[in-house]
Amino acid sequence: MKINVNSSTEMKQLGAAIASTAKAHDLLLLNGDLGAGKTTLTQGIGEALGVKRPVKSPTFTIVREYEEAKLPIYHMDFYRLENDDLSSIDLSSYLQQPGLVVIEWPEVVKADLPDQYLQIVIRRVDDSWDSTKRTVEFRPQGKRNEDWVAEIANKIKNRT
Ligand SMILES: Nc1ncnc2c1ncn2[C@@H]1O[C@H](COP(=O)(O)OP(=O)(O)OP(=O)(O)O)[C@@H](O)[C@H]1O
Ligand SMILES: [Mg+2]
């Protein structure tokens, strides 16, 4: 599935649709260039799950935990992470938590990921830097994630 998202507000609304259909142990991989909107999407997820404090990019902390959310969120960002630093975070223990794991720049940890996840690829549509147009492509791996995308599609369709 591939959809058009025309503003950061719409990106957060997509986040809300993802949040309302997410279940414990779901894993979301967010791909896209710098400034594509990965953190903005995650903010939408956090707000929809009742997180009151700002959802910020965890670039320097690797993981930010939002356990006050209706479904706990573990937001990670592996941008420019060196392989040596990987030992400092126990990814598998987060995946065992009954929450939602969201990973920006997941390429570095690809080898450590389970084979079931929902990958989301965000792309700029226009060349100009200030354009707010994006496409969002969903690449589900496994039955649960295929079902999840169908539920997200349903949520978006019913939104007017
Ligand atoms: N349609 C859109 N979706 C998401 N963000 C948008 C959109 N249009 C404009 N923006 C703006 O683009 C910026 C996206 O920044 P954001 O931090 O979400 O990107 P990112 O993909 O997480 O980047 P990074 O790789 O640096 O973590 C924000 O300033 C946001 O307001
Ligand atoms: Mg980010």
> What does the pLDDT look like over 38-83, one tens digit per residue?
999 999 999 999 999 999 886 667 899 999 999 999 999 988 776 6
92 C-alpha to ligand 2 centroid (Å): 22
Domain containing 44 equals: 2-158
- Please, what's the b/e burial string for 107-137 (b: 16 or more CB within 10 A of its CB; e: otherwise)? ebbeeebeeebbbbebebeeeeeeeeebebe
Place of tokens 């320097």: 60
CB of 154 closer than 6 A to ligand 1?
A: no
Q: Is 40 near ligand 1, meaning CB less than 6 Å away?
A: yes
| pLDDT band, residue 84 (cuts 50/70/90) | low
Q: What CATH number does the domain containing 44 carry?
A: 3.40.50.300
Q: How confident is the model at residue 129 (pLDDT cuts 50, 70, 90)?
A: confident
Count of domains for the chain = 1
> 5 in ligand 1 pocket by Cβ < 6 Å?
yes
For tokens 């690797």, the residue is 62
133/89 Cα distance (integer angstroms): 34
Q: pTM (2 decimals)?
A: 0.95
State the CB neighbour count (10 A cutoff) for residue 33: 10
